Amino acid sequence: MPVDSFDEFVDALQEIESKGFIETHRAGNTGIGKTLEDLLGIEENNIPGPDAAGIELKSTRRQSNNLTTLFTKEPPRDQRELWNQDLVRELGYVDSKDRQALKVTIGTGESNNRGFYLDYDDNSVSVVHDDYGICATYPLSLLRDVFERKLPELILVIADVEKRDGREYFHYNEAYHLDGFDGDDFLGLMRDGVITLDLRMHIKDNGNIRNRGTAWRIMDESRLDEAFEERTPLLDGEATDVVSESTQNTGQNTLDEF
């Protein structure tokens, strides 16, 4: 049942919600998105872009707990105190391939096992090391620009999950139309440990840096709506009167990398 308008999409989504738990159409992490797309009559493709009434559609298991990339972005050159080769050489380690490397996840609060943590104020986020101090700073305005380019508008659909005989079943019962970057809530998600930063660098044999992109990532995709300024509910998330067997959350990573 392909949908052409936003109103038709919402009607179709509400009909899917009323069906209760639906068996996955594909095993594995991508099953939740594949199943929803099939139910909406959306043809699968690997090209990022609008796919639900002209708006990008993302689906996620409720309370998933694996990191998923929102976007990659290096700090501005004029706000890097220690970065790339210098950062890896000064504060990195020798990895299993005998290379000088720095591949760590950084959050707020206590420093990680390499001594890094994120610090922030109302206008910026800094990468800080216990011994060195501030390594680099991201203006919040920069993060806003990158976020809005990657995710200008989004429909997020959240599902409860249960397993029966090793197969997943999804109840798509919460959804939002999301628009605009909310800087305060982005910082709030970071403070809560939901949004983190990944450094992914090593020194190659020729002495040059290999940087796979500094990645801003989210732990629980079902809280992605909190990073948007405008959040319009499309489903109320309260349709829970469906009889289910041994409901459980799988904790798998489900949201495609942005």
Decide if 252 contacts 64 (C-beta within 8 A): yes
Question: pLDDT (tens digit, 0 to 9) for every residue of the chain, 258 residues total?
Answer: 566 788 999 999 999 999 999 999 999 888 999 999 999 988 766 545 456 667 888 899 998 776 788 999 999 999 999 999 999 999 999 999 999 999 999 999 899 999 999 999 999 999 999 999 999 999 999 999 999 998 888 999 999 999 999 999 999 999 999 999 999 999 999 999 999 999 999 999 999 999 999 999 999 888 999 999 999 999 976 544 433 333 333 333 333 333
Instruction: Give the number of other CB atoms < 10 A from CB of residue 157.
Output: 25
**Domain coordinates of the chain in residue numbers?**
69-143+196-211
Distance between CA 18 and CA 57 in Å, rounded? 19
Helix axis angle for 31-40 and 6-18, nearest 10°, is: 120
Query: Which class is 69-143+196-211 in CATH?
Result: alpha beta
Beta-ladder partners of 153:
179
Decide if 247 contacts 160 (C-beta within 8 A): yes
Q: Which residues of 31-59 are buried (b: 16+ CB within 10 A; e: fewer)?
A: bbbbbbbebbebeeeeeeeebbbebbbbb
